[in-house]
Every structure is written in C-alpha cells, then in structure tokens.
C-alpha cells in the first residue's frame, strides 16, 4: 500500500474534523448544529478503569463516523446515544476509520464488528485505514460469521 492511500485516509479524517470544527464555530449563531464530535474514549495504552480506549465519533447530518476503535467503543457509543446522540445507536455504527494500527486503537474492533451485528445491524462494517488494516482486523476478530463480513478498504 502506497503513500497515496495513506494520504487519502488522512485527508478524509482531516476533513471530518474540519467539518466538525467549522460547525462548532457556527453553533452559537445557528439554532442547531448538524455536526457533533463525541469523545468516546480518551485512554492511553495503560489500563485505567476510569477511561475507555481511544475513539472519537463524528456525527454529520445524522450519520456517525467512528475514528479509532479503542476498548469500550460500542459501550461508550451506547452511552452517548442515551444522552441524545441518536446516530450512535449501536446498530447505526457502520463506518469506521483507523488512524494507525497500535493495539490501543484497534482492540475494540471485535466489539465494533460483532455487537452491532448481534443487535440487528444489517450492513457490514465499512473499515478504512492504513496499510495492514485487513491483517489487523483478521487478527482482532479471528473468525466472524460469513453474514457479517467487514469491508476493509486499505
């Protein structure tokens, strides 16, 4: 996988954050924003019972995009849904991006792939990331149902 693909993934993540920042800038003048940034986990590789693994949700026009899949990603998304962020209903978690492949950013992949599917998600998870994403996904999930294939675009 070449540098071009890495740049494309980085560009998409950068654009999502840019849209979120811009909408937050106009939030005071607009009655409601169409973009939200939700910090799902801000933990480090060190185990901390008070923090979940690194993960951010960016909600644009009612669609949630997950950036990184640290431990507890689906539970934190469900907690955000409970606080009114409807796009983070676990069955709505359909698109995810990995910024890099360190374990603390990928250990939540099995949860992100399987839990929403068990709860009724119909579409497979679309997973985008740097070179090696497919291999990490296979390692983290070992085996998944054939009905729950992941689209890993590397």
Q: Which residues are known catalytic residues?
A: 104
- The residue behind tokens 């990928």 is 106
| Torsion, CA 96, CA 97, CA 102, CA 106, rounded to 10 | 0
**What CA–CA distance (Å, rounded) separates 48 from 105?**
15
- Residues 89 and 78: their CA atoms lie apart, in Å, by 6
C-alpha to C-alpha distance for 141 and 129, rounded to whole angstroms: 16
């Amino acid at each position: 996988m070449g540098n071009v693909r890495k740049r494309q993934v980085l560009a998409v993540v950068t654009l999502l954050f840019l849209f979120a920042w811009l909408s937050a800038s106009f939030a005071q003048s607009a009655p409601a924003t169409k973009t939200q940034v939700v910090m799902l986990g801000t933990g480090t590789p060190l185990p901390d019972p008070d923090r979940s693994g690194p993960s951010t949700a960016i909600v644009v026009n009612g669609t949630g995009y997950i950036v990184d899949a640290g431990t507890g990603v689906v539970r934190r998304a469900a907690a955000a849904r409970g606080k009114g962020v409807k796009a983070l209903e676990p069955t709505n978690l359909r698109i995810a991006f990995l910024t890099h492949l360190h374990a603390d950013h990928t250990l939540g992949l099995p949860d992100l792939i399987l839990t929403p599917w068990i709860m009724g998600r119909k579409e497979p998870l679309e997973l985008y990331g740097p070179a090696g994403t497919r291999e990490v996904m296979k390692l983290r999930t070992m085996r998944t149902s054939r009905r729950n294939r992941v689209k890993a675009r590397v």
